[in-house]
Amino acid sequence: MKDKCNREIKHIRFSITSKCNYNCIYCDQEGFIPNTSELTVDEITKLCKILAEILNVTRIKLTGGEPLCREEIIQIIRNIANLHLYKDISLTTNGFQLYEKAEELFTAGLNRINVSLSSLKPEVYNKVYGSDSLDTVLKGLQKAKEVGFNPIKLNFVIMKGINDDELETMYEFCRKNGFILQLIELHEVSEAVGVNGDFYRTHYYDIKPIVEELESRAEKIIIRGSMQNRKVFVLPNSTIIETITPSHEFCMGCTKLRVGCDGNLFGCLYRSDLGRNIKEALRDHHSLSKYEQIVKQVVDSREPYYK
């Protein structure tokens, strides 16, 4: 299914809970604030099946809040895997509970993980995440690697005056461990969760010079056209760095449909107000064509945020 800008929906980003055990200084709450209770496990499973059948998508990413704070996370992943409709099931996490849950997650059918790691310095990590748990997360990363997760991506949000001096350290850490670094430019949060303009103005770091430097160093550059036109740099030492920059080009390459933990479907991190909640429809057991009408309405509401 394509939107009015001829962008085909290829990925689902599904928040399964708004709960989180961290207090990140750049949190965007996935672009929305829930209005009702979380979807049940059965409702999540049903909606995943409906979206796969309507949109013919095979990739889904589970998010939060912190998805590992959802008690039924293993069952949710197992249910989605058992649909045999998704070839790629991934999850983004702060990694705090990764050590104890990595093996169960992998066995349940989770294919990949993204772990938020914006510093390797304990004091900076604590400042960014409001949690003195860097060692716990690093231990969890090694456990995830041991049980078979591959690739493992690290989300590094670069912030001026906070962690902008750690880039080379992160490059080397990823090289040694075989992780992929996702270098993320700080963005202004959506109107749905309020705009912290002062924080953005103080700590925004333009990554264009970094991208240019990576272009000069890389032995290979890949454009992920199916994933918001992201640039992926492969350095001579085999380090892989992916850059994520909110921009017009980023929006024009967007292929995501977002699902809030309360059943709100929306097409843009910044415009959850254009979404539509599907929870009641799920409980009414409509035909697939009825659900298709709802999804089509949401997809048609999508328009590039950056003009």
Q: What is the pLDDT of residue 194?
A: 61
Is there a contact between 97 and 140 (Cβ–Cβ < 8 Å)? yes
Q: What is the pLDDT of residue 156?
A: 97
Other Cβ atoms less than 10 A from the Cβ of 2: the count is 12
Q: What is the CA 101 to chain-centroid distance, rounded?
A: 19
Is there a contact between 263 and 279 (Cβ–Cβ < 8 Å)? yes
pLDDT of 228 strictly over 70 = no
pLDDT of 246 strictly over 80 = no
Taking the C-alpha atoms of residue 297 and residue 302, their distance in angstroms, rounded to an integer, is: 9
Strand order across the beta sheet in which 264-266 lies: 220-224, 230-234, 240-244, 180-185, 152-158, 112-116, 88-93, 59-63, 11-15, 256-259, 264-266, 276-277
Q: What is the pLDDT of residue 227?
A: 55
Q: What is the pLDDT of residue 261?
A: 94
Give the tens place of pLDDT for each residue, 26-85: 887 766 778 789 999 999 999 999 999 999 999 999 999 999 999 999 999 999 999 999
Bridge partners, residue 156, by sequence: 183
Is there a contact between 12 and 59 (Cβ–Cβ < 8 Å)? yes
Share of the chain above pLDDT 70, in %: 93
Taking the C-alpha atoms of residue 85 and residue 79, their distance in angstroms, rounded to an integer, is: 11
Taking alpha carbons only, the member of 48, 34, 76, 40 closest to residue 283 is 40
Which has more confidence, 75 or 255?
75
Reading the block at residue 69, the tokens are 């704070």
Give the tens place of pLDDT for each residue, 81-125: 999 999 999 999 999 999 999 999 999 999 999 999 999 999 999
Mean pLDDT for 15-33 is 85
Three-state DSSP state, 265: strand
Structural domains present in the chain: 11-300 (3.20.20.70)
3 pLDDT tier (thresholds 50, 70, 90)? confident
Number of H helices, E strands in the chain: 11, 12
- What is the pairing mode between strands 152-158 and 276-277? unpaired
- Residue 84: Cβ-neighbour burial (10 angstroms; 0-12, 13-18, 19+): exposed
Other Cβ atoms less than 10 A from the Cβ of 31: the count is 23
